[in-house]
Structure 1
Amino acid sequence: MSDQTVTGTQTESNLPGLLGVVDTAIARIEAVMLAAGVLLMAANTVANVIGRFVLQSSIYFSEELNSILIVLITFAGISYAARHGRHIRMSAIFDTLPAPARRAAMVLIAVVTAIFMFGLCWYATGYVITLAGRGRLLPALQIPVWWMYVWVPVGFFMTGAQYALTAVKNLTEKDIWLSTLVLEGYEEDNQV
């Protein structure tokens, strides 16, 4: 791997100019969403277990809150996975191609995936708007149902942006990148 490949905790982009600012902003939003979601879910679950077994009373909204947090974590997680090159790859054909063809394939894959993610964002936004128009409330929390699903278009948008930035990175750099942070290739396993 290259020294340009970074670990999973980086939030500063190595893209130039405005693209770097956008990439860094998305990384920080992902980090906050994932950290807050996981911590809140853990605290809610622990508090509910303590309440149920020690105080003989569950937290009445615990299940709904965890459902909201699962949606948040899932859709922030797809963006995080795209940022760190952890998405599914079918590389049997890709790996056999010469470098220029791999670069072209990676740009095509990133652009097509970005288009699909932005399309899913569009449709998810329409769904959230429809839910908002219906005015339904979650039974326990008494908040609008659409608040639960607002994270879906946000996650699709951030994922689409990650793939678009990956396409730009592959068009502007000499190496082939799986994401804005991860070079294409495999780590050598020296342990036997």
Structure 2
Amino acid sequence: MSESTGEAPTPNGGVLAVLKRLDDGLSLVERQLLGWSIVLMAVNTVANVIMRLGFSSSIFFSEELNQFLIILVTFVGISEAARMGRHIRMSAFTDMLGPKSSKVMMIIITLGTAALLFLLAWYSIGYVSSLIQSNRLTPALRIPYYFTVLIVPFGLTVTGIQFVFAAATNIFKPGTHLSYQVEDTFSDADDHHL
């Protein structure tokens, strides 16, 4: 065991190194999208309030733009939440199992969640395809409606990838991990459930 890091070197360290590089790249893209979307929503909302109060007229596309940005923040944000281990989970049962059994359950849960997210991404691609064929335009901005939901398959896929990363981390690293970056902690009392 390495004294400096507190972790045993793993024979599959190369797999985790590749995952880390991919995760770092995804994180950069996601944080930029989230940050700029929130800034744009704030600017859009403040500008619309100023227009309404000062000129008694709203910006005609303000509400529509904010709806698009909310979709973007939601579906990119779920990936960031998964990366940081902040997703909703029902842990009462797994906490009773103890660390070793909890690790096995976490692998099963993360792989199952990833499979579900990939399935939803597949269905969302079908939905986007149907919107492309419909040629619908948004009411205010008059852009193709499918542009507004293109982020949904991306967000679901990237979140699925986060859960695959979490499963791989649980397989290749000691401890139970909620995500690639976040390890679950157990108290000493939990160790007696083994």
Deviation of 1:16 (Å): 3.2
In structure 1, the residue matched to 2:61 is 61
The RMSD of aligned alpha carbons is 1.7
Range with greater deviation from structure 2 (92-101 or 169-178) = 92-101
| 2:16–2:169 CA contact under 8 A, matched in 1 | no
| 2:121–2:156 CA contact under 8 A, matched in 1 | yes
Query: How many Å separate the matches in 2 of 1:158 and 1:184?
Result: 22
In structure 1, the residue matched to 2:29 is 29
TM-score of the two chains, using structure 2 as the length reference: 0.86
Question: Deviations along 1:75-121, whole A, 9 cap, x unmatched?
Answer: 01111111111111111110111322111100000000000001000
Looking at secondary structure, tell me which structure has more helix per residue: 2
Structure 1: 4+ residue segments shifted above 2 A = 15-18
In structure 1, the residue matched to 2:160 is 160
Deviation of 1:43 (Å): 0.5
In structure 1, the residue matched to 2:179 is 179
Query: How many Å separate the matches in 2 of 1:178 and 1:109?
Result: 10
Runs (5+) with no aligned partner, structure 1? 5-14, 188-192
Query: How many Å separate the matches in 2 of 1:64 and 1:186?
Result: 46
In structure 2, the residue matched to 1:10 is none
Instruction: Tell me which structure has the larger Cα radius of gyration.
Output: 2
In structure 2, the residue matched to 1:11 is none
In structure 1, the residue matched to 2:99 is 99
Identity between Structure 1 and Structure 2 (%): 43
Distance 1:186 1:73, change over 3 A: farther
1:27-176 paired onto structure 2 within 5 Å: 27-176=27-176
Question: Deviations along 1:43-100, whole A, 9 cap, x unmatched?
Answer: 0000000011112221100011001001000101111111111111111110111322
Runs (5+) with no aligned partner, structure 2? 7-14, 188-194
